[in-house]
Amino acid sequence: MHSYAFYNGHLRESEKRLQALDNPSTASKAPAYQYPSSGHVPTASEERAQKDADDLSLLRENLAIELTSPMGSVTYPKNLTWSNYTDYIFCPTLCYELEYPRTAGINWMELFYKVLAVFGCIFLLTITSEEFIYPVMMESAFRLETVTSFSETALILAESISMLLFPFMITFLLVFLVIFEYVLGAFAEITCMHTLFY
């Protein structure tokens, strides 16, 4: 949401600047540069006026380029539609752009493999939790109910933590893999995002 709002706010300010250059309310309506007659040597003020006009032209061009997507298909404010916003929400990216590079279509086999991998990772997460995390937690909870001294409590907690380090590491890596590789990869295929972005 922040990227979408910030970038469109930036584009709005760029559009205001471009409109102010097109129709300045306080500026003179006289031409910025008048061509000299033949044999006329331009004065310093005429050269400065020409430089200002060149700078103004360059600024107009830069602002116009900024308001247009790199591929040239979308310009601000025509991007402010519900379909554009929904497309951005489902694209696997954090940074909003006016337009993203797209593939010609969905690679259905790649999408099938990504979805299958999501369910495979969820299965591995379930097995890891049921076989390696849950029994350790239950045993340590049972043992903690029967102890009376602080040193025994600390020993049980240290044993439990050391037995849970490897399963938690596996769980963390699987969650990272399922989210950032398979789920976002599946959304990249569904939205026809170019593979450069994921």
For 68, phi then psi, to 5°, come to -120, 140
The domain segmentation of the chain, as residue ranges, is 2-90, 108-197
Cis peptide preceding 77, ω within 30 of 0: yes
**What pLDDT shows up at residue 36?**
38
Long-range contacts for 71-74 (Cβ within 8 Å, ≥24 apart)?
Answer: 71/99, 71/101, 73/99, 74/98, 74/99
- Residue 102 in 3-state DSSP? strand
Report pLDDT digits (tens) over 158-197: 999 999 999 999 999 999 999 988 998 888 888 887 655 4
pLDDT at 198 over 90: no
**Adjacent-strand bridge partners of 75:** 68
Q: Output 47 or 132, whichever has higher pLDDT.
A: 132
**130: pLDDT confidence band, cut at 50, 70 and 90?**
very high
Burial of 122 by CB count in 10 Å (0-12 exposed, 13-18 middle, 19+ buried)?
A: middle
Percent of the residues in the chain that have a pLDDT greater than 90, as a whole number: 23
DSSP state of 3: H
pTM check: above 0.85? no
Q: What is the pLDDT of residue 29?
A: 31
Per-residue pLDDT tens over the stretch 144-160? 888 888 888 899 889 99
